[in-house]
Chains A and B, each alone.
Chain A
């Protein structure tokens, strides 16, 4: 199970806790959208390579 956590803003403590639980024991990647110029192509390469993507707030 490969999981990608995408962040649209800085994660809250609750978000961090959920990410920790959901990610445990899985192959995990992350991507931060909350930057000036996100590399959308690189994001999609990751999205296409994993089993599940979660776009956190």
Chain B
């Protein structure tokens, strides 16, 4: 059985890799969690972001980063659950609860 995969995203440059890896991982039967922090939160504005939220098992973002990047925390990115506007503890969950770790 495929291992579970956590992805920590801090670069605003790699949405194609986030999508490509998540699609490939789900095709292999992996459980996938993605957490966006710092300038990585700009990727919530990509057209693919809602699809990512449907595809992955868990998507969350750092709400402090979102605010610091100039976005209104009340403006929840399309596809994201309000409770997933979260904190750095999501990163801790990726490391503790998922077998494989990537940073993009």
Direct contact of A and B (CB under 8 A): yes
Is the beta-carbon distance between B102 and A6 smaller than 8 angstroms?
Answer: yes
Q: Give complex CA distance A38, B24 in Å.
A: 11
Q: Give complex CA distance A19, B63 in Å.
A: 33
Is the beta-carbon distance between A38 and B2 smaller than 8 angstroms?
Answer: no
Nearest 5 Cβ contacts at the A-B interface = A40-B24, A40-B20, A41-B24, A55-B103, A48-B3
Q: Give complex CA distance A40, B28 in Å.
A: 11
Is the beta-carbon distance between A43 and B104 smaller than 8 angstroms?
Answer: no
Is the beta-carbon distance between A47 and B5 smaller than 8 angstroms?
Answer: yes
> A residues engaging B (CB < 8 A)?
6, 8, 33, 38, 40-41, 43-44, 47-48, 53, 55, 57
> B residues engaging A (CB < 8 A)?
2-3, 5, 11, 13-14, 17, 20-21, 23-25, 27-28, 30, 100-104
Of chain B, the residue at the smallest CB distance from A38 is: B20
22 interchain pairs (CB within 8 A)?
Answer: A8-B14, A33-B14, A38-B17, A38-B20, A40-B17, A40-B20, A40-B23, A40-B24, A41-B27, A43-B21, A43-B24, A44-B5, A44-B25, A44-B30, A48-B2, A48-B3, A53-B100, A53-B101, A55-B102, A55-B103, A55-B104, A57-B11
Using Cβ atoms and an 8 Å threshold, which residues of chain A touch B25?
Answer: 44
Is the beta-carbon distance between B104 and A48 smaller than 8 angstroms?
Answer: no
Of chain B, the residue at the smallest CB distance from A42 is: B24
Q: Give complex CA distance A33, B2 in Å.
A: 21
Of chain A, the residue at the smallest CB distance from B19 is: A40
